[in-house]
């Protein structure tokens, strides 16, 4: 599964340029029974199986020593689960400052709680929904974190990233053809007036955020220009 981020796109470029490295450890390689069991029935009964402590602990120990060989003394150990703190861009930016991260990806109904208590620094969720395992949430998080590492995005890509990261939703985008099925591209985008285009894009970001994610605006200190642009849109639509 993890090859999908090491073999394509921006993340592949980062790995190829050795900006960061990705290693995987499989708990099944650390089992000591003939059936290589990583899970067992839940005490107390109920549906689903629970991942055993020991294979996970041996796997995280191997991952920790792997990081030590690269000079990472104390990697931050993250467990992905619906019970974790929901991730946002600010937390992604903070995680990108760590020398090394270990992502523990559960399966089945979850992992033995004693493993989490003994080995996990941070339990994280990517949203209030359940998927089949922690791998896809981990890859999503790794992608978002890697985009914050110096040298991963080129100037154009990071400009887009920065504009989106000012706690506003993105503005609408258009490309050829100019006219499609009777619908046109907004005139301002064809004007060549870069200042007007910049203001229009900011106003669209503010208006979209106001309409779709007013919660984001709560935590944003708007400038006089931003407040004026939003006020103009609210009055226009009221």
Under the binding rule (CB under 6 A), the answer on residue 80 touching ligand 9WO is yes
- 112 catalytic, yes or no? no
**Helix (H) and strand (E) counts in the chain:** 10, 7
Shortest Å distance, C-beta 138 to ligand 9WO:
8
| Catalytic residue status for 147 | yes
Choice among 16, 109, 121, 198 that is catalytic: 109
Cα end-to-end distance, the chain, whole Å: 49
Q: Site map for ligand 9WO, 101-140, x if CB under 6 A? A: -----xx-xx--------------xxx--xx-xx--x---
Residue 47 Cβ, how far from ligand 9WO at the closest point, in Å? 4
Q: Is residue 158 close enough to count as binding ligand 9WO by CB under 6 A?
A: no
| Shortest reach from residue 56's CB to ligand 9WO, in Å | 12
Q: Is-catalytic flag, 109?
A: yes
Toward ligand 9WO, which CB reaches closer, 74 or 131? Answer: 131
129 burial level (CB within 10 Å; 0-12, 13-18, 19+): exposed
Site membership for ligand 9WO, residue 146 (CB under 6 A): no
Phi and psi, residue 185, nearest 5°: -80, 140
- Interacting residues of 183 by C-beta distance below 8 A, sequence separation 6+: none
Closest approach of ligand 9WO to the CB of residue 106, in Å: 3
- Tell me how far apart the alpha carbons of residues 152 and 145 are, in angstroms, rounded to a whole number: 10
Residue 176 backbone phi and psi in degrees, to 5: -60, 150
CA-based nearest residue to 59, from 102, 122, 5: 102
The CA distance from 233 to 189, in Å, is 18
Closer CB to ligand 9WO, residue 14 or residue 56?
56
Tokens 């639509």 label which residue?
237
* Annotated catalytic residue within 82, 107, 123, 143: 82
Write out the residues near ligand 9WO by the rule CB under 6 A: 47-48, 80-82, 106-107, 109-110, 125-127, 130-131, 133-134, 137
Catalytic residues: 82, 109, 147, 162
């Amino acid at each position: 599964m993890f090859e999908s981020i090491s073999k394509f796109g921006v993340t592949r470029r980062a790995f190829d340029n050795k900006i960061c490295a990705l290693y995987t450890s499989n708990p099944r390689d650390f089992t000591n029974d003939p059936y290589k069991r990583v899970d067992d029935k839940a005490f107390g009964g109920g549906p689903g199986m629970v991942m055993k402590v020991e294979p996970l602990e041996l796997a995280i120990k191997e991952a920790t020593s792997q990081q030590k060989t690269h000079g990472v003394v104390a990697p931050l150990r993250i467990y992905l689960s619906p019970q974790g703190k929901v991730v946002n861009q600010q937390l992604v930016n903070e995680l990108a400052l760590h020398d090394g991260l270990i992502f523990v990806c559960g399966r089945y109904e979850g992992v033995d709680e004693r493993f989490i208590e003994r080995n996990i620094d941070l339990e994280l969720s990517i949203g209030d929904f359940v998927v089949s395992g922690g791998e896809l949430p981990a890859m999503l998080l790794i992608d978002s974190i890697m985009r914050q590492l110096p040298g991963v995005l080129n100037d154009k890509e990071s400009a887009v990233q920065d504009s989106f990261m000012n706690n506003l939703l993105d503005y609408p985008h258009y490309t050829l053809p100019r006219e499609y099925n009777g619908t046109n591209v907004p005139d301002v985008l064809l004007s060549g007036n870069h200042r007007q285009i910049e203001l229009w894009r900011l106003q669209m970001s503010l208006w979209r955020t106001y309409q779709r994610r007013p919660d984001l605006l709560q935590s944003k200190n708007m400038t006089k220009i931003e407040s004026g642009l939003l006020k103009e849109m609210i009055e226009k639509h009221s």
